[in-house]
Structure 1
Amino acid sequence: MAKYKAYPEYKDSGVEWLGKIPEHWQLSKLRYMFTFGKGLTITKENLQDEGIPCVNYGEVHSKYGFEVDPQEHPLKCVSETYLKNNTTSLLIKGDVVFADTSEDIEGSGNFTQLISNVTTFAGYHTIIARPLKRNNSRFYAYLLDCKELRAQVRHAVKGVKVFSITQAILRNISIWLPSENEQGKISAFLNHETAKIDNLIEKQQQLIELLKEKRQAVISHAVNKGLNPNVPMKDSGIEWLGEVPEHWVISQLKSNVSTRKGIAFKSTDFSDSGIRVVKASDIKKKTIHCSDVFLPEKFSEDYPKAILKFGDIVLSTVGSNPDVKNSAVGQLGYIPIELDGALLNQNTVVFSSSSNVLDQFYLFFLIQTDVYRDHLDLHAHGTANQASLNVSDMLDFKYARPPLSEQVEIVEYIQNYNLNFDNLEAHSEAAIKYLQERRTALISAAVTGKIDVRDWVAPVNSEMANIEESPEVNA
């Protein structure tokens, strides 16, 4: 922030997480600047694809973040009949919607601001904060997003595994306010500067998506067509597969793979120590994460079929919707060494090579191919909110199998490619992390008065290159 000047005079704010603020700024509480209300009393079952858009706590936490516009961001809806008796849950442009619960302390205080005039409801598990003065509602959004204010919220919330925020907590949050004219200046400055940062973040995110697509293409081609472009080909007899190397054998997963399902352990048996448990929700992005759920040691003796080994392939069989490529159903990963000996919970299945003709790691890449993911999509069944897969359907899949030695070559080829992709993705993720940290720091500096932007004027030629970039951004 060295290129920005400070205010000439400061005073002690009296707020623990804030420190000094400009001499002429005023202290207040959120209750004097906002009115508060609650979202609709509904559940997921009340949501539909058409009707009145609805901002639920899920959108606040994971989808759109800082701002939401139903014209740009797809939202689930409720029936128009809700307009009759639920007007207090309707949003006005500039309103702030808080999620009233969070699974972690860092998410406490997460919100989004409606930036559209489209008729929109605040949905379940939400709190509405409506600015009394609407001309600078954008300033309030930046203020609510700064780390100093968020620190107050996190200090006040209550919970252990789920953290709850209430209207009473929000009303009592201390805020600090410059003049209305100054608020407008700060908002204009941050709109301009954060837009530049957001543009760079978006470019890095697009690069990561391209890398994922390329990675998927490499896996699918290597597993379905092999590595030698000059090898004689034959018709596979499988419509979606087309030609395959002449010497490959057409086989079925059910002939080469054995399975075992996870166990429906009782949540009342879970503990804070013992044998770690792998749940379906731990399987994400082809990786299995270590959860903080355990079972007593004796469960390994009582449920030997639930014991996982290093290299086991685990898939989830239940998820949030039938779209396998965008759902928890059909997620897969292999057991890392640190989870060797863990116990497998319900809604999962282990795939293991049951013959000496199918390499375990080749199997892992085979079930990552587009054609196998499409196969799971075809067989996933259920409702819009929950879907499941039958193991028999998952195994009813024809594929072309190369000789074992060639499988090993293909695995090594993909693993080497993946290392390169991993490095490029890590580079982009580091750039995103730097940019997000800079964005957070810039917002905090502006809305707490650490920098003085009263004389700031938007450049006539606003080039993205003017931003102070990290080395990673240019990678």
Structure 2
Amino acid sequence: MSQKQQTKQSGIGWAGEIPEHWETSKIRFVARLESGHTPSRSKSEYWEDCDIPWVTTSDIKKFRGSEKLYLNSTKKQISQLGLENSGAKILPEGTVFLSRTASVGFSGIMSQEMATSQDFANWVCGDRVIPEYLVYTFRAMDQEFDRLMKGSTHQTIYMPEIRSLEMPLPPVPEQEKIASRLESQLLDLQEIKERLKRLISILEDERKSIITDHIVNGINETEFKNVKESRWYDTIPAGWELLQLNRIRDARTPIVYGIVQPGPEQDEGVPYIKGGQCEPEYLDPEKLSKTAKEIAEKYSRATLEPEDLVYEIRGSIGRVVKVPEKLAGANLTQDTARISPGENIDSTWLLYALKSEPFRQQMDLQARGATIEGVNLFDLRRGQLPVPPIQKQKQIGLLC
């Protein structure tokens, strides 16, 4: 927008100032609002010969993390009979859909005739608004959607709020220019993000290589000895020992998994770490699920203490994280295992040792050979690591 261009207050909370010659409008005044529906699941005949594209929340992931505008196909379909016996409608190509439940705010444009479930509000654009501009408008309205959901028990925007939505309305030629410029700029941004993603992946691989080198060869080590009893290590530095993980744990706390059935989610209770959460950003007591104290007490053997390590043995096998002070007394599930560093074992060094390539390969081999993919505790305990003296562990931990 030019700095010399005259502006005015839009009167729309989320929009702020707009060019003086623009109008504002309730969206339903410039685009026909339509809802969706789901045919009865109790009528099996409604779900036979399904060939009508039907937009559901399953399609939202196609838009997550991208600048995608158009939905070309749907994951699910409905039948003509189901359509005729429900509130669903076939909507024309170019219809804009907006998710109003679950992942609220995701929007896109139908590239062919489609119907939708009731999770969407749909707009058939009139001659005063183009679909691309409307979608970009919705994508600028995150704060407004958050405001409308505030205080709601369910993450839902109800139809009265949908009908009240307003938008800035420039002349159609300006809408076309805005949409075209945004599409170009966002595609450039997406390309930059992809490049950064590839660069981060390269840097992460390099970091893993450095970690493995420090864990296996040490820092400035000059003397090495041959290792005959291992298929994973040919040599290790002189003065180091090749030991099984079970030999370097705390003698009082065996390597164990945690709660098998945590039960219903509790507002107050004992937090627990489950599969997929062995990353520092997840280790917040407010974000973790909680189990009843009575259930946690039955698995007190897996109670966590600061400096313990939690290792994923199912799912994302091999991810490992250190337990912070704020999670003292927490627990874990059967998808993860607690490893308590023993005497003269530095927890930071052990964290990186468990991430090293030779140890990962040992666990991957065991996981592939299991009936149910995962690492059993017997194999985890037998995993081999080259163990340096404690002072060298600390040096390696600082450099990794």
Length-normalised TM-score, structure 1? 0.61
Aligned to 2:378: 392
Given that 1:282 and 1:291 are in contact with CA atoms closer than 8 Å, whether structure 2 keeps it comes out as no
Larger RCO (CA within 8 A; separation ≥ 6)? 1
Aligned to 2:68: 67
Given that 1:40 and 1:123 are in contact with CA atoms closer than 8 Å, whether structure 2 keeps it comes out as no
Deviation digits for residues 63-116 of structure 1 (CA, Å, limit 9, x no counterpart): 434316899xxx9x958xx476689799987665545544xxxx63234557xx
Relative to structure 1, the CA distance from residue 229 to residue 411 in structure 2 (aligned partners, 3 Å threshold; closer, same or farther) is same
Tell me which of 299, 321, 336 is aligned to 1:333: 321
Deviation digits for residues 420-443 of structure 1 (CA, Å, limit 9, x no counterpart): xxxxxxxxxxxxxxxxxxxxxxxx
RMSD over equivalenced CA pairs, Å? 4.6
Matching of residue 401 in structure 1 with residue 393 in structure 2: no
Alignment of 1:45-444 (within 5 A): 56-57=57-58, 60=61, 63-67=64-68, 82=77, 98-102=98-102, 108-111=104-107, 127=120, 129=122, 131-132=124-125, 136-146=130-140, 149-157=141-149, 163-166=155-158, 169-228=161-220, 230-235=222-227, 238-245=230-237, 247-257=239-249, 258-264=254-260, 266-268=262-264, 270-272=266-268, 277-280=271-274, 283-286=277-280, 288-292=282-286, 304-319=300-315, 324=316, 329-344=317-332, 347-354=335-342, 356=343, 358-380=345-367, 388-414=374-400
- Counterpart CA distance in 1 for 2:277 and 2:192 is 30
- Counterpart CA distance in 1 for 2:273 and 2:307 is 17
* Residue identity in the other structure for 2:327: L
Aligned to 2:26: 28
- Counterpart CA distance in 1 for 2:325 and 2:174 is 56
SS at match of 2:305: coil
Aligned-pair distance for 1:127?
2.9
Relative to structure 1, the CA distance from residue 245 to residue 20 in structure 2 (aligned partners, 3 Å threshold; closer, same or farther) is closer
Relative to structure 1, the CA distance from residue 239 to residue 302 in structure 2 (aligned partners, 3 Å threshold; closer, same or farther) is closer
- Counterpart CA distance in 1 for 2:365 and 2:99 is 35
Relative to structure 1, the CA distance from residue 305 to residue 129 in structure 2 (aligned partners, 3 Å threshold; closer, same or farther) is same
Aligned-pair distance for 1:159?
6.6
Relative to structure 1, the CA distance from residue 110 to residue 393 in structure 2 (aligned partners, 3 Å threshold; closer, same or farther) is farther
- Counterpart CA distance in 1 for 2:40 and 2:135 is 25
Given that 1:90 and 1:121 are in contact with CA atoms closer than 8 Å, whether structure 2 keeps it comes out as yes
- Counterpart CA distance in 1 for 2:355 and 2:397 is 12
Aligned-pair distance for 1:178?
1.6
Given that 2:275 and 2:335 are in contact with CA atoms closer than 8 Å, whether structure 1 keeps it comes out as no
- Counterpart CA distance in 1 for 2:213 and 2:90 is 50
Larger Rg computed on CA atoms: 2
Alignment length, in residue pairs?
Answer: 373
- Counterpart CA distance in 2 for 1:316 and 1:161 is 34
Relative to structure 1, the CA distance from residue 24 to residue 363 in structure 2 (aligned partners, 3 Å threshold; closer, same or farther) is closer
SS at match of 1:251: strand
Deviation digits for residues 156-187 of structure 1 (CA, Å, limit 9, x no counterpart): 23776751245664344222322211100111
Aligned to 1:417: none
Given that 1:17 and 1:152 are in contact with CA atoms closer than 8 Å, whether structure 2 keeps it comes out as yes
Relative to structure 1, the CA distance from residue 9 to residue 253 in structure 2 (aligned partners, 3 Å threshold; closer, same or farther) is closer
Aligned to 2:14: 17
Aligned-pair distance for 1:308?
2.0
SS at match of 2:223: coil
Given that 1:318 and 1:388 are in contact with CA atoms closer than 8 Å, whether structure 2 keeps it comes out as yes
* Residue identity in the other structure for 2:387: R
- Counterpart CA distance in 1 for 2:356 and 2:204 is 13
- Counterpart CA distance in 1 for 2:340 and 2:113 is 49
Relative to structure 1, the CA distance from residue 408 to residue 139 in structure 2 (aligned partners, 3 Å threshold; closer, same or farther) is same
Aligned to 2:36: 37
Length-normalised TM-score, structure 2? 0.71
List runs of 5+ in structure 2 lacking aligned partners: 42-52
Given that 1:158 and 1:165 are in contact with CA atoms closer than 8 Å, whether structure 2 keeps it comes out as no
Given that 1:57 and 1:123 are in contact with CA atoms closer than 8 Å, whether structure 2 keeps it comes out as no
- Counterpart CA distance in 2 for 1:396 and 1:310 is 24
- Counterpart CA distance in 1 for 2:189 and 2:242 is 51
* Residue identity in the other structure for 1:108: V
List runs of 5+ in structure 1 lacking aligned partners: 43-51, 415-475
- Counterpart CA distance in 2 for 1:295 and 1:175 is 45
- Counterpart CA distance in 2 for 1:395 and 1:53 is 50
Given that 1:54 and 1:120 are in contact with CA atoms closer than 8 Å, whether structure 2 keeps it comes out as no
Deviation digits for residues 339-360 of structure 1 (CA, Å, limit 9, x no counterpart): 2333445543211234x46443
Aligned-pair distance for 1:19?
4.4
- Counterpart CA distance in 2 for 1:65 and 1:263 is 37
* Residue identity in the other structure for 1:260: V
Relative to structure 1, the CA distance from residue 145 to residue 212 in structure 2 (aligned partners, 3 Å threshold; closer, same or farther) is same
- Counterpart CA distance in 1 for 2:396 and 2:89 is 56
SS at match of 1:353: coil
